[in-house]
Amino acid sequence: MTRVIWTRGAVEDVEAVKAYVARDSVRYATLLAERIVAAVDRLELFPESGRVVPEVGDASLREIIHGAYRIVYRIQAESVEVVTVHHAARLLGA
């Protein structure tokens, strides 16, 4: 089983998404955050299940699309590192 590591930035991204959505619905915000975490949890068994980030083209940098969010992660020797949770409407790196 592959170990999943969340970077501080990725945790902060999920917290920011949750806070933004909570302005309209606390319940949906909590559910969305839980679903993002659940989408990442599957990487323990299937670390290469995400697609290669198209604008980067590096096979070790992949992403899972969950709703309107891109969950970008880096495959390492025995782990995956969640780098960012990014709204798909925004440019990566912006």
Gap between the Cα atoms of 21 and 51, Å rounded: 26
pLDDT at 94 over 60: no
Q: What is the pLDDT of residues 64-93, one digit of tens each?
A: 999 999 999 999 989 999 999 998 887 676
Per-residue pLDDT averaged across 54-59, rounded?
Answer: 87
Determine contact, residues 1/77, Cβ cutoff 8 Å.
Answer: no
Give the CB-side neighbour count of residue 8, counting CA atoms within 13 A.
0
pTM for this one? 0.91
> What type of residue sits at position 55?
E
**What was the pLDDT predicted at 73?**
97
Domains located in the chain, CATH noted: 3-87 (3.30.2310.20)
Torsion sign (Cα): 68, 25, 13, 75: negative
Task: Report pLDDT digits (tens) over 2-54.
Answer: 999 999 999 999 999 999 999 999 999 999 999 999 999 999 999 999 999 98
Distance CA 47, CA 21 (A): 28
Q: Which two tokens stand for residue 64?
A: 């899972």
